[in-house]
A and B are shown apart, each in its own frame.
Chain A
Amino acid sequence: MRFVFKTSYDQDIRLLKHGGQTFWYGLLVVALVAAPAVVSEYYLSQLTFIAIYALIGVGLMLLTGYTGQVSLGHAAFLAVGAYTEAVLQAHGVPFGLSLAAAGLLAGLAGIVIGLPALRLSGIYLVIATMAFGFIVQEVLTRWESVTRGSLGITLRPISLAGVRLVEEWQLYYLALAVLTLVLLGVLNLLRAPTGRAFVAIRDSEISAQSMGIGLARYKTASFALSAAITGLAGALYAHKLQFISPEQFGIILSVELAMMIFIGGIGSLHGAVFGAIFLIALPQLVAVAKDYLPAAIGHQTGLEPTVFGLILVLVIVFEPQGIYGRWLKVRHYLQTFPLYKADMFRRQRTFMKSERAR
């Protein structure tokens, strides 16, 4: 068991709290950097996907997990980012610029949906974001002069500073770099007044308001930031897939993204990354499991959604804190062995909390 003694105020805001964290995160960085030399091309490609989904997860977590604003329309922001990148690349705009534009434009879209969303809460917000997602998807399908409609757009490889990124490891490093920068940025934001304001709004709008937090300003900021991060991810996503069309950005994707952060663990950035790993690994695991199941079940197309739904239900019923919450418990168990108490993390028995009056 480790005791961290606080001897200076800097310790409170330091990102790495103690030597153990420095060691493990250092090891993680080394492992990720060394990955292209070790794993095969296929798994490297999956790692790239994980990095991109984790990026989306961080964006969505900022909005849902930290500001408490629910969105079932995040596929729309992803689409805005992806299409901005695709169209700008076709017009010969350099990658650095088009990536920034993808983030900016998605952020603007976030403000557009964020402004009416200021007056909405709970289920009304869910429906509004969902409606926004449907509308964006339809616009992409119909605005054929720019988006080529349902024919979709094929992207060329990125050329960055004269180098064409054609190899898998190049895209992997790019995605990893963007993810790392965004993660550090968000971590920094969360220990700054803006991030504290987000959390205050999540926990109680009324008490946040009473403490002088402008709800309109911070909610819009949260929507814009979240959308901008998702837009960045969209640009990378477009290049990873090399082909985008409006059907990819439907309600199903939005729901999957929301599922991702719930299963990963709501309210923590670790959760966003764990959720991304889960989302990418699950189809692979199901594919492996198919070989062991009787053919009558194994060859059904409905198997994957069923497993997905089942896991989501089980996670929320038995482990509302998601994968990250379970990891905290396991770690605590090991650290305090044999003194672990089951009550340590037990939730209080809760009554139904009404959200009607707020």
Chain B
Amino acid sequence: MRAMVQFLQLVVSGIAMGCVLGLIALGFTLIYKATETVNFAQGDLMMLGGFVALTAVALAGLPFWVGVVAAIAVMALFGAGLERLVLRPVLGQPAFAVVMVTIGVGFMMRGLASMVPGWGTETYTIRAPYSGEVLRLGGLALSAEQLAVILMTLVLCTALYLYFRFTRLGVAMQATSQNQLAAYYMGIPVARVNSLVWAISAGVAAFAGVLLAPITFVHVNMGLIGLKAFPAAVIGGFGSVPGAIAGGLVIGIVESLAGFYLPEGFKDVAAYVVVLLVLMVRPHGLFGGHSRKKV
């Protein structure tokens, strides 16, 4: 019984972590689906989002939820600006060159964030209104932060699903991601849609940052968690939105269990071992479709 409760406890904390990873992976996926760019700066976007929220809540003294909305709005604008200024000029270059651009942008964001007065290289926490509360359920102790992460991920995913399924703009985005040229011929402003995709993706990243902040800390290098979200996105098959969340959950749970049941050291590489195994069996991820060029 105790072992069972322990197991469930680990699974729940794994799910909470997996949701955050899933949200970052979702950001990758949205951008990849629309523009075929892999954004290595996604984790750093999350970091910036966390810092903006920190500035709003801790330094400017705004209420928590206002800070959340502010962070999402600021980062969405930032994402759109990034697309316009940096990513659009490199359109048409080999995919890896574009990846290198996003890596460069990530370096810059990390470097610049450490120079901003009041941010620096310190670690900070953001206290959410629900921080510190614990919900007891049978033998399980569920912390409010973890539940909030799970709940808000659900809400966000539902909202995104409804948006892509039922709004005009959402459908236009789907069309763009399926075939840019055809979408262009149908009168969809592809370039502007791409900017919007970056905005949404950066907003989602900021949201993930705010959710993560009460659990871990806000720090210049918190974006490195984005490197763990890659395996999540890949397991889900890059470019599949439900796959991203599923991949995040897989990684989160595996990592949480490996940290407890396996010897020390396995926790840090569990995600990468899993992704290598998955790629060996299915080279395009679990949910990824595969199309072959006809000659």
Contact = CB atoms under 8 A, between A and B. Distances in A.
B289 to A, nearest CB: 9
B115 A135 contact: no
A131 B86 contact: no
Contacts of A126: 38, 96, 99
Contact of B115 (A141, A302, A313): A302
Interface stretch (B47-55, B210-218, B267-275): B267-275
Interface residues of B, number: 57
Contacts, number: 158
B291 A357 contact: yes
B237 to A, nearest CB: 9
Contacts of A138: 265, 268-269
Interface in B71-126: 86, 89-93, 95-101, 103-115, 121
Given A124-B279, A316-B93, A356-B36, A305 B107 contact: yes
B188 to A, nearest CB: 14
Contacts of B284: 124
Contact of A124 (B96, B227, B283): B283
B32 A123 contact: yes
Contacts of A313: 86, 101, 104-105, 108
Contact of A354 (B36, B114, B264): B36
Interface stretch (A16-24, A114-122, A326-334): A114-122
Interface string B203-244: 000000000000000001000000100110010001000000
Interface stretch (A2-10, A236-244, A251-259): A251-259
A309 B106 contact: yes
Contacts of B89: 317
Given A142-B265, A297-B115, A306-B112, A312 B295 contact: no
Contacts of A135: 269, 272-273, 276
Contacts of B113: 302
Interface string A134-150: 11001001100000000
A274 B38 CA distance: 27
A128 interface: yes
A352 B115 contact: no
Interface string A300-337: 11111111111111001100100000000000000000
A353 interface: yes
Interface in B10-44: 32, 35-36, 38
Given A124-B234, A306-B108, A357-B292, A116 B36 contact: no
B107 A130 contact: no
A43 B81 CA distance: 42
B29 to A, nearest CB: 11
B273 to A, nearest CB: 7
B283 A119 contact: yes
Interface size of A as a range = 35 or more
B9 interface: no
Given A309-B108, A316-B90, A131 B283 contact: no
Contact of A355 (B95, B108, B230, B275): B95
Contacts of B92: 349-353
A300 B279 contact: no
Contact of B231 (A127, A302, A308, A356): A127
A116 B280 CA distance: 6
B100 A316 contact: yes
Contact of B180 (A309, A311, A352, A355): A352
Given A262-B97, A302-B112, A317-B90, A310 B104 contact: yes
Contacts of A124: 234, 238, 279, 283-285
B293 interface: yes
A304 B107 CA distance: 9
Top-9 shortest CB links A-B:
A309-B107, A350-B92, A306-B111, A312-B104, A131-B272, A302-B114, A302-B111, A309-B108, A305-B111
26 contacts: A70-B99, A120-B283, A124-B279, A124-B283, A131-B271, A132-B272, A135-B272, A135-B276, A138-B265, A142-B264, A258-B103, A266-B97, A300-B115, A302-B220, A304-B111, A308-B107, A309-B105, A312-B101, A312-B104, A313-B86, A313-B104, A316-B93, A317-B101, A320-B93, A356-B291, A357-B291
Interface of B: 32, 35-36, 38, 86, 89-93, 95-101, 103-115, 121, 180-181, 220, 227, 230-231, 234, 238, 264-265, 268-269, 271-273, 275-276, 279-280, 283-285, 291-293, 295
